[in-house]
Amino acid sequence: MMKLTRRQSLAAALVPLLPTVSCAVDEARPDGLVSPDLELALRPFDPAYWPGPILPSTQRELAPIMQQAAAAMRERDLALIERKVGIVINALGRYRGTPEVLPPYGRPIKFSAPDIRYVTNLVTKDYEAFAARGPWRDPKQRSTSPTTRLRITGRAAEAMIRLHLAGQGQDGLFLQEATKALDYAISVQAPNGVFGYPYIAEGGSGVAREAADLVRKQRASGNELTHKGWIIDDLNKGGLEFDNAIIGTTLLLANEVAPRQDYVEAALRAGEWALPRPFVININYNTLSAFLFARLFRVTGDQKWLEGAKDIFRYVVLPTQLNSGRWFDPHNARIEYHSIILRHGLELLQALAVANDPMRTVMEDSLRRGLDNLAAQIVLFGSSNTEELLASEALIIGEALLGENRLWKIATHIDINFLVDHLATALAARGLPISPPLALLVQQASALPATSSFELSLI
């Protein structure tokens, strides 16, 4: 039986709440949004044409050549990387650039702009409520038996900082709570610098059970992977890079709003842990560390962080992107991981602009193709991964950095309209904060007149 991640479990729980396509009435799609080439490239994302999960025989064939590609990436040999990736693409056949699971789409599709005043009120009230019950307030999370991933704390802290910048919250509430959240995160940072993953010995999500199994096997061999209830070593599998980067980058964002040297020092320790880690074949894991490195460069000016971020995109991300803008393997072709890669690439783009680095041109082309592909999927089929709004986050930041784009903007409207109209109540009922990227939208809207283009300082 396939193990479900927490993200997959949440999505599965919310699927029954989605209006069924047969009962939905979409708004009329504006003309000329999606090119014929993109429509063709995205045909496998249509439920009617999705080719199904990758065959076990194909998976067995792919495993050794995927590892060969990863080895070439670690050697930083571009010619060898291109050859090995080409072999993988050929072996994938109809599965290349196709999601490993059928995306659930939210309908009806609403192309019109959301009511920003309503969204602002919704997000503000939601985070006022969540601030009172956040993980940083739960004594269990400070014990040696934590159960909540640090990314929940990090993403909530980022949302609250953005709401504070947008002038929301009474008497500085959101900045105060973000500070408490990040103080908690620093208090559980491991001696080796990593912001770890809670060790849940029994139960939990599929990922938690897999991690616990790894800990038990290593203990039997005399190798301890935990510290005070947190997994602080995953034997270079890549998963620890997620929470580590989310907390590290949020600390640096907080430092821009309320400067504190301990925020920068904790983020630097997280970066030093991540910098020597080898590349892994799961593309989005690598980009999480690139996200942290790029932001560390922007804060410190230390060139090693820029080079670390550039290497991840030069040797892992760019060679595995298809001409259509999607990434080659079925896992990273999924909308959530495609969006994550783009978000982190946009962070690198900002660092490249600061450094006046010529790699900026190549990155802009890659990001535009990826964002076009992402937005077209939403426009053609509807919102997906709506509970996290990772696509909207990438699209909002893409417009801020690369200029206004009608396709990207309308795709964002679709995503946000569906969340506000159909999922916000369900998320609140599960005790989860509303999707953090909505706070980014509120920050954007507060900065400029409603009719103007926008340029944000996103750190």
Protein fold of 6-447: Glycosyltransferase (1.50.10)
Is residue 441 within 8 Å of residue 396, measured between CB atoms? yes
Q: Tell me if 211 sits within 8 A of 227, measured CB to CB.
A: no
pLDDT at 113: 94
Residue 74 CB contacts under 8 Å (≥ 6 apart), including other chains: 278, 279
The runs of H, that is alpha helices, within 281-334 are 283-300, 303-312
Tokens read off for 441: 């939208």
- List the structure tokens of 363: 């990155």
Report pLDDT for 7. Answer: 52
Q: Which long-range contacts (CB under 8 A, 24 or more apart) does 29-33 make?
A: 29/109, 29/111, 29/379, 30/111, 30/406, 30/410, 33/376, 33/379, 33/406, 33/407, 33/410
In the numeric block, which tokens belong to residue 228? 């005070």
Q: Long-range contacts for 412-415 (Cβ within 8 Å, ≥24 apart)?
A: 412/375, 412/441, 413/110, 413/111, 413/112, 413/113, 413/114, 414/109, 414/110, 414/111, 414/378, 414/379, 414/382, 414/383, 415/378, 415/383, 415/386, 415/389, 415/391
pLDDT for res 445 = 86
Report the Cα–Cα distance between both ends of the chain, in Å, rounded: 41
Contact 404, 440 (CB under 8 A): no
State both tokens at 454: 């926008």
Q: What is the pLDDT of residue 244?
A: 98
The pLDDT of residue 119 is 94
pLDDT at 448: 52
| pLDDT at site 427 | 79
CA distances for 213 relative to 206, 229, 403, angstroms: 11, 15, 47
Domain boundaries, the chain: 6-447
Distance of CA 375 to CAs 98, 278, 453, Å?
16, 32, 19
For residue 243, CA distances in Å to 9, 13, 111, 152 come to: 18, 23, 34, 9
Nearest to 187 by CA among 240, 235, 146, 223: 146
Within 10 angstroms of residue 75's Cβ, the number of other Cβ atoms is: 12
CA distance 129 to 393: 22
Local confidence pLDDT in tens for the 459 residues of the chain: 334 454 554 454 444 444 433 345 788 888 899 999 999 999 999 999 999 999 999 999 999 999 999 999 999 999 999 999 999 999 999 999 999 999 999 999 999 999 999 999 999 999 999 999 999 999 999 999 999 999 999 999 999 999 999 999 999 999 999 999 999 999 999 999 999 999 999 888 888 999 999 999 999 999 999 999 999 999 999 999 999 999 999 999 999 999 999 999 999 999 999 999 999 999 999 999 999 999 999 999 999 999 999 999 999 999 999 999 999 999 999 999 999 999 999 999 999 999 999 999 999 999 999 999 999 999 999 999 999 999 999 999 999 999 999 999 999 999 999 999 998 888 777 777 888 899 999 998 887 543 333 334 554
Q: Look at residue 24 in the predicted model and tell me its pLDDT.
A: 59
Rounded Cα distance between 211 and 201, Å, is: 9
